[in-house]
Amino acid sequence: RAPLDVVCEISYVMVKPDGVQRGLVGEIIGRFERKGFKLKALQMRKCTREIAEEHYKDLKEKPFFKDLVDYILSGPVVAMVWEGNGVVASARKLIGATNPLNAEPGTIRGDLAIQTGRNVVHGSDSPDNGERETGLWFQGDATVEWSQTIQPWLT
Ligand code: RTP
């Protein structure tokens, strides 16, 4: 039985090509695992321009849009779905500010990056986008149902 304050959400989190190339996949997954979130889907892949453009469609008019899409296409990414209480906002906090120079120490970007255009990881900015992005990146693939043993003592 879930406690009353539990809001079950999913966030689409992605290690971007620079994070993969720099060998930061384990570090990033570890931070979400240690926080207590539940991994629901995981796939290493090279994405298509169509998916990258759809993923960032809200930024289509920005001057950096093409560079952003080229960056996401520049190497494999690690696509993930994380589930848990308040995971969308919490993931954003764990990840830190868009510009890594403004990200607090202790956050992924604050500890591990120095450039906005190479900020190693993405996290959905709303529960609706968590659902939308999960559907986009894991088309047709069901997320995995499994029982997490980390939290029963809280209930
Ligand atoms: P993300 O979607 O990747 O998690 O990043 P975010 O919410 O923190 O930032 P957002 O404003 O959605 O921007 C998406 C990504 O675009 C790149 N960007 N470049 N050159 C620039 O001024 C600029 N601004 C944003 C970053 O890679 C950012 O993560």
Amino acid occupying residue 78:
V
On whether residue 44 sits in a domain, the answer given is: yes
Q: Is the CB of 64 under 6 A from ligand 1?
A: yes
CA distance 25 to 154: 29
Nearest of 117, 115, 94 to residue 106 by alpha carbon: 94
Check the annotation: does 92 bind a ligand.
yes
Beta carbon of 117 within 6 Å of any ligand 1 atom = yes
CATH of the domain at 21: 3.30.70.141
Strands 38-45 and 121-123: unpaired
Q: What's the domain count of the chain? A: 1
The residue whose C-alpha atom lies closest to atom 8 belonging to ligand 1 is: 98
Query: Which is nearest to 15 in space by CA: 99, 116, 122, 132?
Result: 122
Residues that are catalytic: 122
Known binding residue 64? Answer is: yes
49: in domain: yes
Q: Would residue 152 count as lying in a domain?
A: no
Residue nearest to atom 10 of ligand 1 (CA): 98
Identity at 118, one-letter amino acid code: R
Q: Could you identify the atom of ligand 1 that is nearest to the CA of residue 71?
A: 27
- For the segment 69-93, the average pLDDT, to the nearest whole number, is 98
Which pTM was predicted?
A: 0.93
> How sure is the predictor about 153, in pLDDT bands with cuts at 50, 70 and 90?
low
The reply to whether 109 sits in an annotated binding site is yes
Confidence of residue 154 (pLDDT cuts 50, 70, 90): low
Domain boundaries, position 54 = 16-125
Q: What pLDDT, in 10s, does the model give residues 121-132?
A: 999 999 999 999
